A and B are shown apart, each in its own frame.
Chain A
Amino acid sequence: MKVPRSLQIWRLGIVNYSDALKLQEKLVSDRKIHKISDTLLSLQHPPTYTLGKRRTDHNLLISEAELKKLGAELHYTQRGGDITFHGPHQAILYPIISLRDIGLGARNYVEKLESTMIEIASLYGVKACPGQKGETGIWVGDRKIGAIGVRIQYGITSHGLAFNIDPDLNYFKHIVPCGIADKDVTSLRRETGIPLPAEDVIHEQLVSCFARQFGYDSLIWKDNVSILSDN
């Protein structure tokens, strides 16, 4: 008696953080009134540092002026979790889905996001696992390969996961990633022995892993969406 569930996937390429945030806000309100079905944004950001709800500035190790010199932006957000970095060659998924419709709580939702990243890593022979208690995100040994931070409003999710395909890891030297000191950050490129395909292929695989974890039967791909059409 399982009702088929469909997921709309928007492939957006590189999107700056504010535009992606505005888009998510609009989609959350549309999803809340059932104007749209579950939607998944697949994208990358230009270099951007973001902080979570708790505004843990102390984990940012450089000044805003120095950030500017690096060409990076800084954003305060309403998601859970600590400071993180987003940049080119890091795959981002922002699911706008109704947890109430699938009877999923925050904890199980975050676990499924973790499993999504574990699965994509395993496709490249990389054994990743969830962090120890208090260290969410996805790890290869004691090196972090993926981060999670989500917001849930009226049972609708926003923000999501970031998986390091091959970002410039030097950017992570300026923060205490996710507030955990003495841990390194890594990428799929660094951990795998297999040559990586084009990044859009990896994005697509990540989306498939997500769809499998959450039990979506039909995937509707949307390309070249003009995300600022409403502005």
Chain B
Amino acid sequence: MALRMWASSTANALRISCASKTPAFALSRCFSSVLDGLKYASSHEWVKHEGSVATVGITDHAQDHLGEVVFVELPETGASVKQGGGFGVVESVKATSDVNSPISGEVIEVNTKLTETPGLVNSSPYEEGWLIKVKPSSPSDLESLMDPQAYTKFCEEENAAH
């Protein structure tokens, strides 16, 4: 419980800080934060590529649309993931949703904290709630993904269709 509270307060702090850095995104109609420096897939996953490691998670928009996450199923370390292919499952409000990988490569680490505290996906989607770390097999995968501006627009259009 203490961990959960700590995590959500961190997330709040993070959201406030990213809102002040990128007011244009924070004011977007979906009211979900979109972080600079990340790449986004149309199925609402983000990827952060640093050196030879790419961290993957689901976006703030995605966690908001899912509702409270109660269970997360992730692959084993060493498994291979394919761009656009499912690699895990998040369960929320009686719905299991597949999570797709924005890039191809080998899974080198999974976020084991989510076994005990799946709610981190809601409280801190871009930090504590990351899902897997991947060693990308074709870094050019990133080029087909959206930048923060394009993803913000994508979310707005999706909300408008609703």
Q: Which residues of A contact B (CB under 8 A)?
A: 52-54, 78-81, 100-110, 136-137, 148-155
Query: How many B residues touch A, CB cutoff 8 Å?
Result: 24
Which one of A54, A100, A149, A154 lies within 8 Å of B98 (CB-CB)? Answer: A154
Task: Report the minimal beta-carbon distance from A151 to chain B, rounded to whole angstroms.
Answer: 5
Q: Are A53 and B43 within 8 A (Cβ)?
A: no
Q: A54-B71, A155-B43 are in contact. Are A106 and B97 (CB under 8 A)?
A: yes
Task: Report the minimal beta-carbon distance from A150 to chain B, rounded to whole angstroms.
Answer: 5
Q: Interface-forming stretch among B14-22, B84-92, B101-109?
A: B84-92
Looking across the interface, which residue of chain A has its beta carbon closest to that of B69?
Answer: A106
Q: Is the interface of B mostly helix, strand, loop or mixed?
A: mixed
Task: Report the minimal beta-carbon distance from B152 to chain A, rounded to whole angstroms.
Answer: 15
Which one of B65, B91, B160, B161 lies within 8 Å of A80 (CB-CB)? Answer: B91
Residues of A within 8 A of B92 (CB): 80, 106-107
Task: Report the minimal beta-carbon distance from B3 to chain A, rounded to whole angstroms.
Answer: 20
Which one of B71, B94, B97, B98 lies within 8 Å of A136 (CB-CB)? Answer: B94
**Residue among A78, A102, A106, A109 facing the most chain B CB atoms (10 A cut-off):** A106
Q: Which residues of B contact A (CB under 8 A)?
A: 43, 62, 64-67, 71, 73, 86, 89, 91-98, 100, 158-162
A100 and B62 alpha carbons, distance in the complex (Å): 12
Selected A-B contacts with CB under 8 Å, 18 pairs: A52-B94, A53-B89, A79-B95, A80-B96, A103-B162, A105-B64, A105-B66, A105-B67, A106-B65, A106-B97, A107-B65, A110-B95, A148-B94, A151-B95, A151-B97, A153-B97, A153-B98, A154-B86
Q: Are A104 and B162 within 8 A (Cβ)?
A: yes
A155 and B93 alpha carbons, distance in the complex (Å): 16
A148 and B96 alpha carbons, distance in the complex (Å): 12
Residues of B within 8 A of A150 (CB): 94-96
Residues of A within 8 A of B160 (CB): 103
Residues of B within 8 A of A155 (CB): 43
